[in-house]
Amino acid sequence: MAADSGAITNEDSESGEEEGKHVKPFTPEKAKEIIMSLQQPAVFCNMVFDWPAQHWTAKHLSEVLQGKQIRFRMGTKHTDTAPQFETTCSYVEATLEEFLTWNCDRSSISGPFRDYDHSKFWAYADYKYFVSLFEDKTDIFQDVIWSDFGFPGRNGQESTLWIGSTGAHTPCHLDTYGCNLVFQVQGRKRWHLFPPEDTPFLYPTRIPYEESSVFSKINVVNPDLKRFPQFWKARRHMVTLSPGQVLFVPRHWWHYVESIDPVTVSINSWIELEEDHQARVEEAITRMLVCALKTAENPHDTRAWLNPTEVEETSHEVNCRYLNGAVSAFFDHYGTSKVVETQALSTNGEYVIKEELNVHNHVEVEQTSSHSLTLGTVKQEAASPFGPDLVPVIPGSQEPPSERGGMFESDGEDFVGKNGKRFGKLHYTKRQRMMSESENAVVEQIASNSTVAPSQTFISTDDLLDCLVNPQVTRIVAQLLIQGRSLRL
């Protein structure tokens, strides 16, 4: 018989095709290799089709949570040039069922959303940690299987949940710890991403203060280019993430995320990296400086500068313990057989000093300038990993997208540079920048921090903090602190 002689029957062919549909394009080992080496955002496809969490619609979660109260951040749908920071939003305690009722535009004079016209406001249940949300339903943690990406044992316990309505968004920021994996479950979200070396053009600030979040002063979807003229140099990368896709956000990539469908549900997990040990020291320095200066300025009003997500005590004593704990953890991790490599800034802003401290106890501090990163490359990778199942997020094209709502989009606008010259997004895509450009951007950023008229010379506490806790500064301070501590060991 033909089948016995090795020929493939129609039945065998159909069976093979069906089986092929359920084979993931990357093994866990390969996925982790990509994640730990890739230096640009990318979208994984066909990796989560068998996750139970793929069915976690807002409706399903409302049944699972059975009336549990959740905190929603309420923002307005207006298009102001100022970012809607969490300190300026209002908050509502409600169930998911009440959220869904309000989101269906069923106006009601009662209920927790009664003061919020659906046509004018959005709601966002963001940063909801599984361990708190599902504290009495821990079996549900297994519905999220990050081990498929090469992280054994990682599941919902190390994840956060995000549920929002149309327009719900997070202001543009970068995360100082780790890299990010984001699984889109329901609805679509549009991501605006900017590379780390564009940081000077995004005017970073630590007010409002939130550990591990550096915010941008710019509303990137409606920028004030008169106040923030360097922003036109920033290279925007855009992607619309759809259900079933997983976005990889590398370390220190800026991102602004907005919900573009009536209901969106996302699950993310921040993956720890080796660089986090020094980053925690930097964050402890930042926390101490911000809290000391802002508390001295106004001891009775922390709400104006402290993000609502920060619930821990901010006293100087607590912050000192936090800093000492971060430094001790750094040395505990690296042990005593490494080499400290410190780099200092010369007067023109370039890293020029590199020395080794030959002391009886020493550690290694790796300083990698963001200018050395190469977009679209994988370290030690002979062939590109990109293809139909791993799609790179690239800078937006000048050409309008053929179909609005596709995965990748341009931002649809040119920026006007000096002398009225117009620049499309592809006119400024060179990876290597002159250091002087970044330096000028930092100077202009500081000059634009104050909202007072140029003729006035008032320097506010926030102006000072924007210089003192600039990520470039805290990185150097952390290295000097670690170097000094190593000399005493």
Dump strand ranges (E) for 379-425: 390-392, 415-416, 422-423
- 3-state SS assignment for residue 266: strand
Model confidence band, residue 457 (pLDDT cutoffs 50, 70, 90): low
Note whether 182 and 283 are same-domain residues.
no
Q: Which residue has the higher pLDDT, 204 or 312?
A: 204
Note whether 86 and 55 are same-domain residues.
yes
Note whether 42 and 120 are same-domain residues.
yes
pTM of this prediction exceeds 0.85: no
Note whether 268 and 278 are same-domain residues.
no
Q: Which of 116-125, 205-214, 290-299, 450-459 has the lowest mean pLDDT?
A: 450-459
Last residue of a domain, one of 232, 252, 272: 272
Q: Which of 94-98, 296-300, 360-364 has the lowest mean pLDDT?
A: 360-364
Last residue of a domain, one of 209, 239, 272: 272
Asked if residue 254 belongs to a domain, the reply is: yes
Beta bridge partners of 355: 342
Q: Which of 170-174, 330-334, 419-423, 485-489 has the lowest mean pLDDT?
A: 419-423
Domain interval for residue 323 = 274-347+466-488
Q: How many domains does the chain have?
A: 2
For tokens 């996925």, name the residue.
31
Tell me phi and psi for residue 125, to 5 degrees.
-95, 95
With a pLDDT cut of 90, the percent of the chain lying above it is 58
Average pLDDT over residues 70-95: 94
* C-alpha distance from residue 228 to each of 82, 217, 219, 445 (Å): 11, 9, 10, 7
Which residues, 6+ apart, have CB-to-CB distance to 418 below 8 Å? none
Average pLDDT over residues 210-239: 96
Note whether 57 and 151 are same-domain residues.
yes
Cβ atoms < 10 Å from Cβ of 333: 12
Q: Which of 41-50, 144-153, 435-444 has the lowest mean pLDDT?
A: 435-444
pLDDT of 228-257, one tens digit each?
999 999 999 999 999 999 999 999 999 999
Amino acid, single-letter form, for residue 136: D
pLDDT averaged over the chain?
A: 79
Note whether 47 and 165 are same-domain residues.
yes
Asked if residue 392 belongs to a domain, the reply is: no
Asked if residue 367 belongs to a domain, the reply is: no
On the 0-12 / 13-18 / 19+ scale of CB atoms within 10 A, 221 is middle
Q: Residue 286: its pLDDT value, please?
A: 93
Q: Residue 365: its pLDDT value, please?
A: 33
- 3-state SS assignment for residue 74: strand
Cβ atoms < 10 Å from Cβ of 88: 13
Note whether 180 and 295 are same-domain residues.
no
Asked if residue 49 belongs to a domain, the reply is: yes
Last residue of a domain, one of 272, 287, 314: 272
Q: Residue 203: its pLDDT value, please?
A: 95
Asked if residue 417 belongs to a domain, the reply is: no
Average pLDDT over residues 312-330: 88
Tell me phi and psi for residue 241, to 5 degrees.
-90, 125
Note whether 244 and 302 are same-domain residues.
no
Cα separation, 164 vs 125, in Å, equals 6
Q: Which residue has the higher pLDDT, 356 or 317?
A: 317
Question: CA torsion, points 445, 451, 452, 453, in degrees to nearest 10?
Answer: 70
Q: Which of 37-51, 258-272, 293-307, 475-489 has the lowest mean pLDDT?
A: 475-489
Note whether 37 and 165 are same-domain residues.
yes
For tokens 């708190």, name the residue.
132
Average pLDDT over residues 1-6: 41
Asked if residue 180 belongs to a domain, the reply is: yes
Look at residue 105 and tell me whether its pLDDT is greater than 90: no
Note whether 252 and 129 are same-domain residues.
yes
Look at residue 415 and tell me whether its pLDDT is greater than 50: no
Average pLDDT over residues 64-71: 94
User: By the 8 A CB rule, do 54 and 26 touch?
Assistant: no
Cα separation, 118 vs 116, in Å, equals 6
Dump strand ranges (E) for 298-360: 341-345, 351-356
With a pLDDT cut of 70, the percent of the chain lying above it is 72
Q: Residue 292: its pLDDT value, please?
A: 92
Cα separation, 224 vs 419, in Å, equals 18
Note whether 259 and 340 are same-domain residues.
no
Q: Residue 35: its pLDDT value, please?
A: 98
Look at residue 425 and tell me whether its pLDDT is greater than 70: no
Asked if residue 299 belongs to a domain, the reply is: yes
Asked if residue 157 belongs to a domain, the reply is: yes
Tell me phi and psi for residue 344, to 5 degrees.
-120, 160
Note whether 141 and 161 are same-domain residues.
yes
Cβ atoms < 10 Å from Cβ of 328: 11
